[in-house]
Structure 1
Amino acid sequence: MRTLNRNTAGILMKQPVKVLQFGEGNFLRGFVDWMIDVLNEQTNFNGSVHIVQPLEFGIVHLLEQQEGLYHVLLNGIQHGKETQVTRLISCVEGVTNPYKNYNAYLELAENPDLEFVISNTTEAGIAFDAADKSMEKLPASFPGKLTALLYRRYQHFNGATDKGLNIIPCELIEKNGEELKAAILQYAKHWNLPQEFSTWINVHNTFCNTLVDRIVPGFPKENIKEIQEELGFEDNLVVKAEPFHLWVIEAPTQVQTAFPTDKAGLDVKFVEDLTPYRTRKVRILNGAHTALVPVAYLAGLRTVREAVEDPKAGKFIREAIFEEITPTLDLSKEELEQFANDVIERFQNPFIRHELITIALNSVSKYKVRVLPSVLEYINRKNELPQRLLHALAALILFYKGEYNGEVIPLNDTPEVLSFFENVWQSDNAQEVTQAVLAKTDFWGTDLTQIEGLVELVTQQLEVLQQAEKREETTQV
């Protein structure tokens, strides 16, 4: 089997480095770098990526060994059919570990071709750390590292107005671009950098808020030998991902012009406000997951795919999405239905095993954020109760009993939540349990018992589930 490098793969041409990427993990390599590779093929983008390792321990040494090359395997369902596509990614030009050579890292700022900074340093990565006292040594935080690099660029180009960068973070926090900018300006003040530098940051650099969406399971260790045999290369950085991808970017038109994804057929939306798209993702994709878990688990199902393909659970979640979630959203019907259909296909992906019990982590707080807003908006718009989403709430309450049909449910939540449910389930009265749970304002941010008919409906649904459990126990006996 051949070693993977640019000589053995026959890829010798290099392109100017236009993108500095903080993060070498599976997501960025299977999402952003995959897109840039497509851009190079389909458009005149003509740019490569230089990757910076944001943490002390990482895998840039593996990228270095393979000269930036690796394969992305897209496996899933598109338009009702299974699809498998393999792509050799060749847009990564070089790597730098700033923990080994801080000055080499700072010298990356002097590249005149550089246009973009893209990052994914975990949700906790975008934060100011007062312990970073100066730029004399490598700052610990990602915003600190980026501030040092931008200041070197500002100095090297004498504050040139055309040498600012388009900064596009992918961290999964709201207003990620704005949060990153705020942290950088805080470092500029903390380090007593010239006011002119802060002005240059504010005026001549563009910070974009973003929303990313693609499931990237990553390295397929379970069958990597077979995959390497098929590829013909000893690739130790293979990335598995689903075909679906969505990148929503709040940015001015010049960013879209510089990053012409529309000309490459990529699902990248440049928008003035990504809020409707974030709401759509949280309510439909994440909300459907959260609503499905307790209903399907109590029905004896254990994976998302099994649940969606089950006649009863599948019908339940489709009706919940199309009849109770999408009617509460403000994007066009066509966009909502397309996204909803994509979600169903993603749930059915035979190449990804999504355990329901894994998704069940912290389900109470997830229901509050992902499902409850749909419940409340449905009531507001329709003046009636959403039957399916509240059936999911009843199932959630029973799920948190921690035992169903003689089987222990491995609950995973905070001690406070688990303790509350342990106490409340000392009662065998469904209405008492429902009343106590819905009145728990710590869980929901409001007293749900004040909504007319809600206690009665959830109690009724809870009793139906309990009766089903008794029937199953009787059958087994």
Structure 2
Amino acid sequence: MNPKLTKAHLASHSQKLSKLLEVPDEKVFELPEKVLQFGTGVLLRGLCDYFIDKANKQGVFNGRVVVVKSTDKGEADDFNEQDGLFTHCIKGLENGQPIEEYVLNASISRTLSARSEWNEVLNCAKNPEMQVIISNTTEVGIALLENDKVTNNPPQSFPVKLLAFLYERWKTFGGTAKSGMVIIPTELIVGNGDKLQEIVLEQAHRNGLEPDFIEWLETHNHFCNSLVDRIVPGKPDQETRTDLQKRFGYTDDLMILSEVYRLWAIQGDEKIRKILTFASVDSGVIIERDIEVYRELKLRMLNGTHTLTCGMSYLLGFRLVKDVMSNAYLNRIITNLMLGEVSLAIPYKIDSKIKDRFGRMVLDRFRNPFLNHKLLDITVQYTAKMKMRNIPILLQYYREFGKAPELFAMGFAAYLQFMKAEKEVNGNYYGESNGEYYPINCNFAPYFYEAWENFDLDKVLANRSLWGEDLTQLDGFADAVRKYL
């Protein structure tokens, strides 16, 4: 059996490995910790940490990442066992040409558990080198939680964890301008930086923190809206992984696979650019004052189309995005939905040629034969995603055309059907398709479990707590959804 990927293994095999993949210089391990990252997810590792690692290897950013994990379980142990190292496999099509690249990422210095090592997380606030905080806590992570205290060990919600960290930093450095942080949430929420700042400030007031701290929080910390776009489905399939580990001569339990395309758009000015120097090494990092065009294209055409079609595809027996796109019927449905409905109703003025070009690029990304992108992964927090990504599309479509978008209604009906749980086990809900049970990982699973006992479509569509709107007021939409149900 191959040895684990560790710093020691890398040091003794670097010459051999450098012929097979991009490896870091040993000096990278001596770089100071400059980034606090909430989340160990593959998107952060395959995108944000990718850019930081690339910059470090070119001697530009020169800072490593401390990762905060919400629990003691799972990959936190793998990170510590592998000294934060992981292999990043990049495969896909770029300008019609196949790309295959392997990177040994050394951006992560250590991983801390918020649950059992919270004091150590707070100690990171005392590090004068710290400059940046990034997060990906899913769409439901940026939320205002009642009675959440900075004195809790740890606080319950991500915003109050962040508040506690910033409060510790203020106490340590006396509220100097230099001690402020650049905070970049990557959650798929419209105005994610603005929303996070709003909640953090509200919780600062609720926690009765000093006015001087609140002034420093508002004046010297920069909450940046951002969006991320890279398909990172996770580990390669077992056969590929086994082959690569045999070729590289080590075992890597953190290995990830991603597509070639990458985008991290960050709302900021020259001051932000001077701190986020990793942006200079890759055109995939964009720092601009207005990132709305990038956000809308990605959120609606890629994420929105995924959300409208993942449930339908799963219920029809498919499990991977690439297999869905290999089916001529579904390929046509998805293409027509994206270019003929979603594209026409993006609630932001974008040139039609730009939308068409972006959409066709997204379709090529969906077809990437190297990615085993699981449909079930797209259904996580299905309802929140449907509301945020697609309801604005639906409303704009009605403003433009005054009728129900047909393929949208089909996808929405499939979503409702997917949310029909057939059983509940210890608070976990499961649907059934083709004789097989599947998990419904959505905060609204209990609601739909009850709703489906005596299903009333109009009642569900009229539920403003789900959609922010009464969808029965959209003429013909309920009838269109009912037809497909």
The TM-score range, normalised by the shorter chain, is 0.7 to 0.9
Letter matched to residue 65 of structure 2: V
Please say if residues 128 and 183 of structure 1, whose CA atoms lie closer than 8 Å, have aligned partners that are also in contact.
no
Tell me whether 1:280 sits opposite 2:297 in the alignment.
yes
The CA deviation at 1:293 is 4.9
CA–CA distance in 1 between the matches of 2:206 and 2:478? 53
One-letter code aligned to 2:56: N
Aligned equivalents of 1:364 and 1:157: distance in 2?
42
Q: CA deviation at 1:318?
A: 1.6
- Say which SS state the counterpart of residue 185 (structure 1) adopts: helix
CA distance in 2, matches of 1:4, 1:377: 50
Q: In the alignment, is the contact (CA less than 8 A) between 2:181 and 2:220 conserved in 1? A: yes
Hey, what's the Cα distance between the residues in 2 that align with 1:40 and 1:170? Answer: 21
Note if 1:91 corresponds to 2:104: no
RMSD: 4.0
Question: 1:357 Cα deviation (Å)?
Answer: 7.0
Shift in alpha-carbon separation, 1:219–1:386, aligned structure 2, 3 A? closer
> Residues 353, 438 of structure 1: CA spacing in aligned structure 2 closer, same or farther, 3 A cutoff?
farther
Distance 1:90 1:408, change over 3 A: closer
Residue number in structure 2 paired with 1:51:
67
**Partner in structure 2 of residue 326 of structure 1:** 343
Cα 1:58–1:377 change in 2 (3 A) is same
Partner in structure 2 of residue 339 of structure 1: 358
Residue 22 (structure 2) aligns with? none
State the secondary structure of the residue aligned to 1:29. Answer: helix
SS in 2 for 1:240: strand
Greater shift, 202-211 or 346-355, is seen at 346-355
Is residue 167 of structure 1 aligned with residue 183 of structure 2?
yes
The secondary structure found in structure 2 opposite 1:84 is: strand
- TM-score normalised per structure 1: 0.77
Asked whether the 8 Å contact 1:17–1:93 carries over to 2, the reply is yes
- Quick one: which of 248, 252, 259 aligns to 2:276? 259
CA distance in 1, matches of 2:358, 2:458: 33
Letter in structure 2 aligned against 1:381: E
Q: Match for residue 17 of structure 2?
A: none
Q: 1:5 maps to which residue?
A: 6
Where does residue 441 of structure 1 map in the other structure? 462
Q: Tell me if the contact between 1:134 and 1:191 (Cα under 8 Å) persists in the aligned partners.
A: no
CA displacement at 1:109 relative to structure 2: 2.0
SS in 2 for 1:234: coil
Equivalent residues of 1:166, 1:205 under 8 A apart: yes
For the pair shown, the structure with the greater C-alpha radius of gyration is 1
CA shift in 2, pair 1:21/1:398, >3 Å: closer
| Structure 1 residue 70 displacement after superposition | 1.4
Q: Give the drift of 1:105.
A: 3.2
Q: Which residue of 1 aligns with 2:51?
A: 35
- Gap regions ≥5 residues in structure 2: 12-24, 422-432
Cα-to-partner distance string for 1:326-375 (whole Å, 9 max, x where unaligned): 23332233542343123212221223345557756887886665455435
Aligned residue runs from structure 1 range 228-307, under 5 A: 228-293=245-310, 303-307=320-324
Identity %: 30
CA shift in 2, pair 1:202/1:309, >3 Å: same
Asked if 1:377 is matched to 2:396, the reply is yes
CA gap of 1:15–1:384, structure 2 versus 1, over 3 A, is same
Decide whether the 8 Å contact of 2:47 with 2:262 is kept in 1.
yes
Q: CA deviation at 1:410?
A: 6.8
Contact 1:43 1:264 in 2 (8 A): no
